[in-house]
Amino acid sequence: MSAKNRSRRPAAPALPSRNDIIDYLNDSDGVSVRRDIARAFGVKGPARAELRALLKEMHEEGVIDLSGGKRVKTAGRLPPVAPIDIIGIARDGDLECEPAGWKDDSNPPLIRIDERRAAKFKPAVGVGDRVLARLKPAGDGSYEAQIMKTIGKGAHKFLAVFRKNRGGAFAEPVERRARGTFSIERGDDANAKDGDLVWIETKNARGYGPKKARVRKIEGHIDDRDAFSTIALANHNIPTEFPTAVVAEATKAKLPPLGERTDLRDTLLFTIDPADAKDHDDACFAEPDSDPKNPGGYRVIVAIADVSFFVRAGSALDKEALNRGNSVYLPDRVVPMLPERLSNDLCSLREGEDRPCLAVEMIIDAGGNKKSHRFMRGIMRSAAKLSYEDAQAISEGGAAPKDIKNAVSHLFGAFRARWAERNKRAPLDLDLPERRVILNKKGEVEDVVRRERFDAHRVIEEFMILANVAAAETLERARLELIYRVHDQPDEDDLEGVRDYLDGLDYKLAKGGAVRPANFNQILKIAESRDEKEMISSIVLRAQRQAIYDTENRGHFGLNLARYAHFTSPIRRYADLTVHRALVSAARLGPGGQTKQEASALQGIAEQISDFERRAVAAEREASDRYLTEYLAGRVGREFDARIRGVTKFGLFVMLDESGADGFIPMRSIGAERFRLEESLHRIVGETSGGVFHLGQHVRVLLEEAIPLTGSLRFEMISDPLPGVKKRKGGGKKVGAKKAAKKSPAKRAGKKVQKKKKRKPRANAKPRRPV
C-alpha cells in the first residue's frame, strides 16, 4: 500500500479517559462488561488490549472492580436491585440498612429506607428483617432504597472469640443469648488469629451440622487487659473514638474572656467529687444570708461548667455528643461524651484556674425553703478540689486552711437547713448500697469494696437537686421548651404484687388513693427496726417505674417534686446541655442558646437519650459482671452468703453479700424436691415439704461455675427452705393456698374461678417437665 493511501486511513479512536469510564459506569447503574465499554467508545482491534490494560490499572488503584471476571463495576458500587438487612433506626425515623452478606474488608455503605415509604409497606418490616430493594445512589456514598419484597430474616451478628485448632477455626460468642460455637470456614476468617475478639455474622445453614459464621471485623484480643470493657462497649454499639472533625473542633476551642460575664473569681467556690474524678462540672459556695429579713437563711451558689459556650447546637461536637448521649463509666475507664480537651480541661472546674460557668444563686430560709433564685454566666476559679472524704473530715474538725474550713462549715450549715425541708417533703428513702470494683496495675480485680455514704455526698446531692428545680422553674416561666427528668407514679398492677408480697411479711402498704413516697418510707422505717431494710428496699425498688427524659412534665415521684430537670452535669449528660442552652436563651446570657431547630427536636432527643442512658447502664453492668466473674473464677467450690434477688419458674437469682456479684441457681440445684412458683408472692414453694424460698431471703450458696467470657455465675443452694406452706393430711389443698390465690388476676378482674377437675392421664401422654 502506498504512503499516500496509508495517510488517508481513518485514525484509531483515542482511548476513553478514566473519568469517561466512570461516567459510563454510573450511567449503567454501576455495572457493565468490557465488550460494551469498548463498543461505547469505539475501541477496536489492537486498542482493545490497551483498554484492558487501562481497566486493570484502574482496578489496582481501587477505582473500579474487576473481580467479577469480564464484568466491570464501580468500586464499592452496589447493583440496582439487591438484598439488604435492616440493622437500625436513624434519629429521623428512617430505617438504616446494609448489603446482605457483605464480604469486603471495608465498612459496608449505608442504605436508608424512607420512614414514610417503610410505613406503607405491608407486612410491616423492622430491625432484623431482610428485604429485596431497589437501590439508588444518594451522592455521598450512601444509598436510598425502596422495598420490593421481604425475604426473611437477616444474618445475626455477635461478638465472639476466634479460636483455631487442628480441626479448623470456630468462634465462641461472648453473649449469653448466643449458645454454642460457630464454625468458621477457610476464607471467612478475615485473617483473624487465635484469641481475637471478632464480630461474626451467621451464615444460612442447610441440613444438619455445625452452625456456620463469617468474621466481619476484628475488635481486639481476649487477653487485652481491657477486653471485658471492650466487649461491653462493642455489644451495645457505644462509640469510643471521636471523629476527626470533632477532635478538630475541640482542639480549636478557647476560653472566653470575662466580657459581660459575672466575675466570681473572688467567691470561694470549691468542688467536692470522688477522689479519682477528672471532670469537675459543679462547684458550690454558701454563706449566711445578710438580709435581716431572712434570719438563719443562707445564700447558696451552685456553679456548673459552661459547656453550652463550647458545644453549639448543630456543630460536629454537638452531633457527636448527642450520638453518645452520656458518658459511660466502666471499672477500667470512662468513655466520655465530650473529647478530653473539653471534658478534662476547658470545661472542667479545675482548682486555681479560670473557667467559664453557668451559675445559679439561691436564697433559702432557715427551714431550707428556696425563697428566690437567679441564673448568671460567670468566670470562676475553684478555691479547692476536695474529695467526699476530705469534705467530711473538714466538717468534723479536720485540718484545712481557715478559709476552706469556713466555706465547708457554711455549706454544711446550709445543708442542715435543706435537710429540714427534705424531711418535710419526704422523698423516697431507699439509700441502697453501692459497690466499687478496684483494679490493680495489670487490669485485674484486686478488691470489691462497698462505697461509704457520708453527709458530704448528701450535701452535694441536695444542692444539685435544688439547682435542677430552679432550672425547670425558670424555663417554665420563660415558656421555653425543655427536657424534664420524669419519674412517674408506680404502676397499679406492680403495686398490687408488692402489696401481696409485703403482706406475707407482715408489712402493710396503704390501699386506695395515690401512693406517696411517704407510704414506702413508713414501711422502710419498720424494716430498718427489723434489720430488713436492704431486703425491703429491693422490693420497693421493683415497684418503681424507670426515670426517663420527656418534654411532658409528669413530676418526679421519687424526689416528690412537681417539676424537675437535669442541669448540673453537662459534661457527661446531653440532657443537661439542652437545659443550659435554654437557660442561656431565657436569661439572655449571650451566645450558645437554644435554636428553633433544637427546640422542635427536643422530644425526639429526649427519647434517644433515654435509650442511650439504658444502653450505658447495661454496658456498665455487663463489664462489672465479667470483672467480678473473673475475680470469683478461682473460688469455684467455695460457699458464700447471698440474698435472693429474683424468683422465676426456672430458678433463683442471687447476689453475693461480699462482692455484690449476681448469679443464678437453676431449679435442679435448689433441692431434691420439686418447687412451684407463686409469682404474685415472689416465692417458690416445695411440693413435698411446703418449704419456701422468697425474694430478699438470706441464703448460703456454693459456686459451681464461673465463665468470665460471658459474665455468668452458677450456684447451688446450700440453705434449707424456710418453713412455710404445709400439706394437709391426705393431700388436697395446701394451707395458705387460698391466700396465695386470693389476688389472682381472675379474681381481681371479677371473674368466677372454677376448680380444675383431675383427669386421668392419656396412655401416650408426655411426662410433665420439671419446673
User: What pairing do the DSSP bridges indicate for beta strands 675-678 and 683-686?
Assistant: antiparallel
CA distance 480 to 471: 11
pLDDT in tens, 276-320: 888 899 999 999 999 999 999 999 999 999 999 999 999 999 999
- Interatomic CA distance for residues 211 and 197, integer angstroms: 19
Confidence of residue 205 (pLDDT cuts 50, 70, 90): low
pLDDT at 9: 47
Nearest alpha carbon to residue 701 among 691, 684, 714: 714
CB 14 within 8 A of CB 56: no
Given a cut of 80, whether residue 71 has pLDDT beyond it is: no
**Whole-angstrom distance, CA of residue 155 vs CA of residue 100:** 8
Starting at the edge strand found earlier in the chain, the sheet holding 71-74 runs 31-33, 71-74, 64-65
Whole-angstrom distance, CA of residue 664 vs CA of residue 707:
12
pLDDT of amino acid 532: 83
Give 175-188 pLDDT, tens digit per residue.
765 667 889 988 88
Residue 481 in grid coordinates: 421548651
Measured distance CA(611)–CA(606) in Å, rounded: 9
Asked whether the CA dihedral 580, 585, 590, 592 is positive or negative, the reply is positive
> Who has greater pLDDT, 467 or 243?
467
3-state SS assignment for residue 466: helix
Tell me the per-residue pLDDT of 655-665, one tens digit each, with 9 for 90 and over.
Answer: 999 898 999 99
The region of weakest confidence among 234-243, 257-266, 267-276 is 234-243
Among candidate residues 228, 223, 628, the one with its CA nearest the CA of residue 445: 628
Confidence of residue 770 (pLDDT cuts 50, 70, 90): very low
For 30, the grid coordinates are: 454501576
pLDDT at residue 501 in the model = 80
pLDDT above 60 (res 425) = yes
Q: What is the 3-state secondary structure (H, E, C) of 415-465?
A: HHHHHHHHHHHCCCCCCCCCEEEEECCCCCEEEEEECCCCHHHHHHHHHHH
Least confident of 387-401, 478-492, 508-522: 508-522
Predicted pLDDT at 565: 98
- Is the predicted pLDDT of residue 482 greater than 90, yes or no? yes
- Round the average pLDDT of the chain to a whole number and report it: 85
Residue 305: strand pairing partners: 357
**Between the ranges 78-92, 138-152, 379-393, 754-768, where is the mean pLDDT highest?**
379-393
Q: Is the pLDDT of residue 408 over 60?
A: yes
Cα dihedral 265→266→268→269 (10° resolution): -20
Over the stretch 586-596, which tens digit does the pLDDT of each residue have? 999 999 999 99
Task: Scan for cell 408489712, then name that residue.
Answer: 507
Q: Residue 639: name the closest of 586, 587, 715 by CA.
A: 715
Res. 443 pLDDT band, cuts 50 70 90: confident
**Residue 208: pLDDT over 60:** no
Q: Is the bond into 123 cis (omega within 30 degrees of 0)?
A: yes
CB neighbourhood size of 368 (10 A): 23
Q: What is the pLDDT of residue 556?
A: 97
d(CA 461, CA 453): 12
Number of C-beta neighbours around residue 423 at 10 A:
11
Residue with cell 428485604: 131
Q: What pLDDT score was predicted for residue 138?
A: 75
Between CA 72 and CA 81 the distance in angstroms is 17
Residue 551 is given by DSSP the state: S
Closest residue by Cα to residue 474 from 374, 330, 344: 374
646 pLDDT tier (thresholds 50, 70, 90): confident
Higher pLDDT, 688 or 771: 688
By mean pLDDT, which of 79-83, 308-312, 360-364, 652-656 is the weakest? Answer: 79-83
Question: What average pLDDT score do residues 438-444 get?
Answer: 87
- Asked whether the predicted pLDDT for residue 695 surpasses 70, the reply is yes
Tally Cβ neighbours within 10 Å of residue 167.
7
Task: Kindly tell me if the per-residue pLDDT of 545 is higher than 70.
Answer: yes
Nearest to 502 by CA among 474, 484, 527, 483: 527
What confidence tier does 570 reach under pLDDT thresholds 50, 70, 90? very high
Per-residue confidence band for 209, with pLDDT thresholds at 50, 70 and 90? low
Distance CA 90, CA 115 (A): 9
Q: How many alpha carbons fall within 13 Å on the CB side of residue 699?
A: 28
Closest CA to 637 of 700, 698, 705: 705
pLDDT tens-place string over residues 32-56: 888 888 888 888 888 888 888 888 8
Distance CA 173, CA 33 (A): 42
| Rounded-to-integer distance, Cα 632 and Cα 708, Å | 9
User: Quick check: 155 pLDDT over 70?
Assistant: no
What's residue 760's pLDDT?
40
Cα separation values, 94 from 84, 129, 140, Å: 15, 14, 17
Tell me what the mean pLDDT of segment 456-465 comes to.
97
Q: pLDDT at residue 725 above 70?
A: no
- Nearest Cα neighbor of 194 from 216, 221, 156, 167 is 221
pLDDT bucket at 72, cuts 50 / 70 / 90: confident
pLDDT at 415: 98
- Region 639-648: mean pLDDT is 92
In the numeric block, the cell 453527709 is attached to 455
Average pLDDT over residues 493-508: 82
Query: What percentage of residues in the chain have a pLDDT greater than 90?
Result: 51
Question: pTM, whole model, 2 decimals?
Answer: 0.73
Structure confidence at residue 214 (pLDDT):
87
Question: d(Cα 236, Cα 252) in Å, to the nearest integer?
Answer: 31
Q: Nearest CA to 361 among 370, 350, 369?
A: 370
Say which range, 65-74, 407-416, 468-477, has the weakest mean pLDDT: 65-74
Residue 355: per-residue pLDDT: 98
pLDDT confidence of residue 76: 60
Q: What share of the chain has pLDDT > 70, as a percent?
A: 86
Instruction: Between 6 and 418, name the one with better pLDDT.
Output: 418
Higher pLDDT, 217 or 341: 341
pLDDT at residue 765 is higher than 60? no
Q: Mention every residue, 6+ apart, whose C-beta is less than 8 A from residue 671.
A: 686, 691, 717, 720, 721
- Answer yes or no: is pLDDT of 742 > 60: no
Identify the band that residue 758 occupies on the pLDDT scale cut at 50, 70 and 90: very low
